[in-house]
Structure 1
Amino acid sequence: GIDAADCVGRVVGMAHMLGAATWIASAIESPGVISQVSAFRRIVLGELDGRITPRAQAIYEALKATGITAELTDNILKVLWTKFVFIAAVSGVGALTRLEMGDYRAVPETRGLLTGIMREVEALARAQSVTLDEDVVEKSLAFIDASAPSIKASMQRDIETGHVSELEAIIGIIGRKGRELGILTPFSDVVYAALIPIDLKARRGASA
């Protein structure tokens, strides 16, 4: 989720944290086992304060040596929030509709829901002084339109298969951040309310 670095940093210390965004389609096969279901895999990483440090450079070089497409950036917060604009929308709408991306992206009403979630995430980022492109939502929609029609987000796959999902980290966080910052997030709140019973059921099953 967008607050992953902060959550882990509170335990291990923010001095030990870097930010990173990954572009990959994956699914939870079983506890501790994640499968890659896409041909692509890309990682962009950087220090949260924007510095290019020896440790960030070393991790970048190590990733690149494995054949992964890796990039080192001096503005990881922009990268993280730009990705979150996209992934929150397709995760929520995909899980709600249970359809492949090509089945819902051109439906006007559903595209309106995608856009609404994106605008809410954009507002949260800007309220925290994160610099995003002015047309970040339009670019995200264009990326969806250009993507393979069969794509499903990882959160959607997990919900469909009854696995514990990233609902709290991807959709729940939007409402929580909104309340913290005084920003209304009605689109995300409705998606969360519709999906939380499914996620709670999966968690009960996982702990049984």
Structure 2
Amino acid sequence: MMGAGGIGGYIGARLAQAGGDVSFIARGAHLAAMLQTGLRIESDLGGLVLRPVSASEAAVDIGPVDLVIFAVKLYDSEDAAASIAPLIADNTRVITLQNGIDSVEVLRRHVEGDRVIGGATYLSGFINKPGQVIHSGGLPHILVGGERDPIVQKLKGLCDHAIGLELKPVSDIDDVLWEKFVTLAAFSGATSLMRSGIGPILADPEARIFISQLRDEGMAVAAAAGHPMADGFLDRVVTRWSAFPPHVKSSMANDLERGKPIEVAWLSGRMHQLGMELGVATPGHTTVFRALHLHARGTQRNNSVP
């Protein structure tokens, strides 16, 4: 697991719980806590403490593996991808479960193209304190490309035996990535800008109009880029958002509240950029991007004196 936060920490712990041989690339206080007291997962689907934990800050300490699940934050992608070489053997696969639509391209600058497989996960989780990941929002769903790849099939078999994890391989991941991009950019933008869980946003008529506007702008951008949303998309989005517990926020909103760097440039910022390139108006996403850009690097850096 390259990254041990809300996504990497949760998925890696569940895979290890199911019998997988899992190692983590992590850093800082979170890594220190994992090594000292284990990785604790708090979830309505069942908690666990993974101990001992195989983890390091350096890929060279772990060595070649069958599968790398790439789950670092988007602003760390280039540095993490550049350090991935010690993990790669002849048959290694790299599955990216990052947000946005650019991570496969980033990885393919550092890893041979056919080894990289795109993926999307619907999972709400965050590091609450070093060594502890909190998950909420129902059963996490993972969709990955490489439907017939033997390593993907092995991963599916492990997930089938895991608690609180569901994985489905698909033949074409591109449209899946665009659907998640449209959905997440709206969800992250609204919950971050409004500092609110999804429940109050859907209950307030003006807030609901705004999150719907963000969704519709994303749909227009996707269509202009050659990835129109499939039939039933609107119903799926409404159903997914309505099924979340009212307090659930995006990981970006949680990071914003904790003064951490945020992924706004790759979500609403990317929508703004694509809208400019494709001639699609994105006033909602442009507002989110510009309003949150001040916090893109985190509170500590913003408060520093040049």
Instruction: Assess same fold via TM > 0.5.
Output: yes
Give the unaligned 5+ runs of structure 1: none
Instruction: Output the CA distance in 2 between the equivalents of 1:132 and 1:53.
Output: 26
Residue 53, structure 1, aligned to residue 149, structure 2: yes
Provide the TM-score with structure 1 as the length reference. Answer: 0.84
**How many residue pairs get matched?**
204
Match of residue 23, structure 1, among 122, 134, 153 = 122
Contact 2:117 2:144 in 1 (8 A): yes
Q: State the superposition RMSD in angstroms.
A: 2.6
Residues 198 and 249, structure 2, Cα contact 8 Å, conserved in 1: yes
Query: 1:95·1:159 contact (CA, 8 Å) conserved in 2?
Result: yes
Measured at CA, do residues 112 and 14 of structure 1 come closer, stay the same or move farther in structure 2, by a change above 3 Å?
farther
CA–CA distance in structure 1, aligned partners of residues 134 and 115 of structure 2: 27
How far apart are 1:83 and its partner, in Å? Answer: 2.1
| 1:147 matched to 2:281 | no
> Retained in 2: the 8 A contact 1:119–1:137?
no
Correspondences of 1:1-208 after superposition (within 5 Å): 1-29=100-128, 35-38=133-136, 40-47=139-146, 52-67=148-163, 68-202=165-299, 204=301
Deviations 1:40-92 (A, max 9, x none): 32211113xxx633343233334434442111111322222222222211111
Normalised to the residue count of structure 2, the TM-score between the two structures is 0.59
**CA 205–66 in structure 1, closer or farther in 2 if over 3 Å, else same:** farther
Give yes or no for contact 2:262–2:297 (8 Å, CA) kept in 1.
no
Aligned counterparts of 2:105 and 2:150: Cα–Cα separation in 1: 22
Q: 1:72 to 1:95 in 2, by over 3 A?
A: same
Aligned equivalents of 2:260 and 2:110: distance in 1? 26
Q: Which amino acid aligns with 1:58?
A: K
Q: Which moved more, 1:76-85 or 1:148-157?
A: 76-85
Instruction: Output one character per residue of 1:81-122: Cα deviation in whole Å (capped at 9) or x when no partner.
Output: 222222211111111111121111122221121111111221
**Aligned partners of 1:85 and 1:118 also within 8 Å:** yes
Provide Cα deviations, 1:185-205, integer angstroms capped at 9, x if missing partner: 111000111111122343726
Give the secondary structure class of the aligned counterpart of 1:58: helix
Q: Indicate if the aligned counterparts of 2:142 and 2:167 stay in contact, CA closer than 8 A.
A: yes
Of residues 57-66 and 99-108 in structure 1, the stretch that sits farther from structure 2 once superposed is: 57-66
Partners of 1:69 and 1:132 in 2: CA distance: 23
Work out the percentage of aligned pairs sharing the same amino acid.
28
Q: Which one has the bigger strand percentage? A: 2
